[in-house]
A and B are shown apart, each in its own frame.
Chain A
Amino acid sequence: MKRISVISTPGLLPVFLISAPSGAQAGGGFPYSFSFADRSVWGIFLLLIVLVLFAVAWLMRQKIRRIRTASKAGTAGQKHGAPEAWLQRFTNAQLREILALKKKNSNARLLILPVAALLAPAGQLFAQSTPGGGPLLSETGVIITITLMALPILLGVVLLYLKMQRILQQFKNKQQLRDAGRLAAYLEQLPEQELEQLLEERPPEEGPLPAAARLSGTGKAEDRNGLLRIRETEGLPIVAEKKRAQKRPDVDPALSKLVLWYLGCSVFWLLFGTSVGEYVGIKFIAPDADHVSWLSFGRLRPVHTNSVFWGWASLAMLGLGYYVVPRVSNTKLFSLKTGWYALCLINASVVLGTLFLMAGINNGGGEYREYIWPVMLLFALGLVLTLWNFYQTIARRTTREIYIANWYIVASVIFAITIVLVAYIPTWQNGLGETIIQGYYMHQGVGMWFMLFTLGIVYYFLPQQLNQPIYSYSLGILAFWTQILFYTLIGTHHFVFSAIPWWLQTVAIVGSAGMAIPVIAGTTNFLMTFKGAWSKVSSSYTLPFFLVGIIFYFTGSLQGTAEAFRTTNLIWHFTDFTVAHSHMTMYGIICFFLWAAIYAIVPRLTGKEPPQISVGIHFWLALIGLLFYIIPLMYGSTLRGVAWLNGVPFIETVKGMAPYWVWRAVGGSLMWGSHLVFAYNMYKMYAAGNELPDVNETALNQLRERVAAH
């Protein structure tokens, strides 16, 4: 009666067992021979560092040259700074205004702007000497020392490079301003007749065609209504130009500072957490990489999961929440100060939790519950402050109804506090009580905190980026209540066939099946919101992130349902299939939605956009990396599960996983690389000023001011 057909899939088995040794034997000891104790490894590291140093030094040389030529051009003052050349670039309207200004104030005196001192380029920067290849270098200790010393130098050189880039930028700014000053002076001296002549020579504005129908003009292309795509950057068009962010009413600078700090901290935790994850993934193919207790697999694994959960995703969500909640309530945030306290508390929680875990102090091994309760208390306090803040903001709303995004966001904060309370009160959960609460806590954390909050963010940002309303408000409400009904039940599906009560397992499986309702409702709602605006996807750099998130929301969530059934548990439970699933959802859904929202919001807060090419690189690296990560892992795990069902000796199934673990490390590396690019994009949005002042406009302004002064 209780027989299943799954067992009779012997076709897959040989593939699994044959592929195993081929992976394990390639190159002698591969893949288990890698170790940091090995000298050649350090040698390669050193070589890499030296190569990077050379690359950076070369780049800096280029920068210095550009600064030098820029400064030379400045002193000669002739090449492109000539006022005559700039004169041609005025629009007719501007020329007319200049004429009017000159006539009004023909006696104006000139003030020559002081010219800034030139920056002498610094001396040679090849400070790092690389010893040739003496016998000393073969000593492990020496190599380690050199490598350790080279690392801070490398960091310093990178910082220096960034600094130089800023100097060059400032220099360019100054030069533009100087050109503007010179142009203004030139304009004042310029005889009026010459200007009039210039105007007459220009093609007439009024012609046989109305102005709006003409295709060319001297005016700057503008797109106030977001209807056109204007190529603004020059250079090699290797990728399609995407639309730039729309200018919006300014956000309160104090609020935008808070949001930017939340997002900045979250990026730090993303980099930290995924660096750890990357290393932990590498340990599957190089278990002897290091022998340091603080860095051993069992301790680092929870460091990875917890720092990306509570550090990256939670802080990013909250940061976006601090923007969305007051915005859709059409009011100010209730208390900025509380927002800052919450930020500090959560950061402190992740820092302390990480240290405790690495030191071997943890809560007993429940997934995502590895932080001990005093550490998690800090996190929970941060959430309580946030809840109070959000709730009071919504209570002061000036809209009649509460927009659906705020339903999801506030509810998820309430639920997260409930979950942490239930799971962490330090006086109960003996025996199986621990397991039942663990299943509940772990899964509600994922579904009621991360998923629900992120859905709220999508309900705000997706319609905003598409510039059309959400398809159906009712579907959103249906998804909200059914998610609470079904999701709350499913926790114990992580312990199917275990010693917990059979009826509880059945409830969890039924709940998992019920999850199809909110998932299908939500997906339908999001996809239908795209209706009539699909063409916008190709011209936006945020919408592709949303689209990937929606696709994984559907596939990843329903995969969870499929995994919960008893028959699928036979094959997939305890294998890396679960790991693939959690990356498909936490990464494919949550991370992609968060990135989409971050790219939508940060340019508005800072007024600076990320380079579109590196946003593209981020997107594709993350997506391709994720697919490389999950597909081999799901395939290999299925084979492993079937092998277990067929009674294959356990160690054979470890061998069999080796090639899939290699693929996982490859995918993980791509994902990790995408985060570096993402961090660079954040840097470009936060710090680097990439807007040069407009010479003509500035000159005209100066002229106006002087005329006004007289």
Chain B
Amino acid sequence: MSMLDNHKLLFSNAALFFAGLTVLVAIVPALSNQKQNRPLPGAPALSKEARIGKGIYIANGCVACHTQQVRNIDMDKVWGDRPGLAADYAANVRTDFWRNTATLMGTERTGPDLTNVGTRQPGKDWNLVHLFNPRIVVKESVMPAYPWLFERKKDPAESDVVVNVPAAYLNGDEKIVATKDALYLLAYLQSLKQAALPQNTAVPEFLYKKEKKAAAGEGTAATVDGQALYAANCQSCHQENGEGLPGAFPALKGSPVVTGEDLEKYVDIIMNGYDAREEYGVMPPVGTNMNFTENEVAAIIDHERTSWGNQGKKVAPEDVKKIIDLLKLKTSE
């Protein structure tokens, strides 16, 4: 065969073969994707602060551990309400002439997926403490601390954003103040929300559904694991031991709200958040954000009322449902 002995023929054939396949499986699909897809009409553009924050997210290589993609499989349901679509990424364009587009989809989930973190974990106080040192709020976290996004000041000014950091992390009477960069990054994290699909659009399905769950359907409170729900949605602020974090997040252990009789207030806080106490951070509307069902709310309440020495009554999901419906009515008025 002449090709074995002819370098021109051999190498140009190999190059053409490779280039041809490249065009077919990479260049054409990439071009057609970037041309066809448009951002969802309901998706807000990044604010100026959030855009700078995204730059900080990129510079510090957060993508090494955090994905931003909800796959269309059932196990990814915890990270978003619906699978990610090409349109969700269409707003990403080249950062600038020097740097490539950052879709930040990621390939490794050492830490949680952040597609919807702005909905799941919007609390400003929590996020800033967590960035200063994640182990203050999540003991087992292996995320790096970002102290260079904060300043240590003896007398913070009025306009300074002071972060409630436990005394063990401070020298003397100094205070931790968030820099602009920290606030930009916060703005970016808060902006990460799954946009709603336009009406009359079919929501893509999650595949590989779990058999057990499908059979149980909505289920009763007994089949919903309150402890797991607490761990996933409440624990990062109120802590595993229910003691909260002094100066930042209130304790649920021995809390009058938890063990008391006012179920409406209790459900209201879970569903719509809370900002009544000066000394603590603002609680986001966790239940509404996460679309909790009455079974889930009841399971969380039961868990909180029977843990850490708390001795409250268990609740019936039906009672919770009534309150939720009532609250919805109130807010829509």
Contacts and interface: CB of A to CB of B under 8 A. Distances in A.
A645 B147 CA distance: 35
A574 B108 contact: yes
Nearest to B213: A647
Interface stretch (A335-343, A364-372, A663-671, A686-694): A364-372
Contacts of B209: 2-3
B60 A498 contact: no
Contacts of B250: none
Contacts of A648: 228
Interface string B9-33: 0110011011101100111011101
B7 to A, nearest CB: 5
A500 B148 CA distance: 36
Interface stretch (B136-144, B188-196, B299-307): B136-144
B263 interface: no
A501 B78 CA distance: 23
A679 interface: no
B58 interface: yes
B60 A414 contact: no
Contacts of A108: none
B30 A429 contact: yes
B4 interface: yes
Nearest to B12: A414
Interface stretch (B92-100, B158-166, B310-318): B92-100
Nearest to A640: B109
A436 B33 contact: yes
B262 interface: no
Contacts of A291: 145, 147-148
B326 interface: no
Contact of B85 (A4, A395, A400, A499): A499
A489 B65 CA distance: 26
Contacts of B138: 651
Nearest to B93: A430
Given A365-B106, A432-B86, A499-B89, A488 B18 contact: yes
A402 B31 contact: no
A429 B100 CA distance: 8
A448 interface: yes
A481 B72 CA distance: 35
A492 B26 CA distance: 9
B101 A484 contact: no
B101 A372 contact: no
Given A288-B135, A649-B232, A500 B33 contact: yes
Contacts of A436: 26, 29-30, 33
A437 interface: yes
A21 B158 CA distance: 43
B26 A437 contact: yes
B99 A297 contact: no
B108 to A, nearest CB: 6
Nearest to B101: A434
Nearest to A444: B22
Contacts of A498: 69, 71, 84, 105
Interface in B74-112: 75-76, 78, 83-86, 88-95, 97-112
A22 interface: no
A346 interface: no
A655 interface: yes
Interface in A415-452: 415, 418, 422, 424, 426-437, 440, 448
Interface stretch (A355-363, A551-559, A627-635): A355-363
A87 interface: no
Given A418-B18, A429-B30, A654 B141 contact: yes
B211 interface: yes
A539 to B, nearest CB: 35
Interface string A48-79: 00000000000000000000000000000000
A415 B209 CA distance: 41
Contact of A365 (B104, B111, B142, B144): B104
Given A32-B135, A296-B60, A654 B142 contact: yes
A372 B98 contact: yes
Given A433-B31, A500-B33, 5 more contacts: A283-B144, A287-B144, A364-B58, A428-B34, A432-B33
6 contacts: A298-B65, A299-B59, A374-B98, A432-B90, A570-B75, A647-B78
For the complex of A and B, the 9 pairs showing the least CB-CB separation, nearest first, are A298-B61, A360-B59, A364-B102, A433-B34, A574-B109, A497-B71, A365-B63, A649-B231, A440-B26
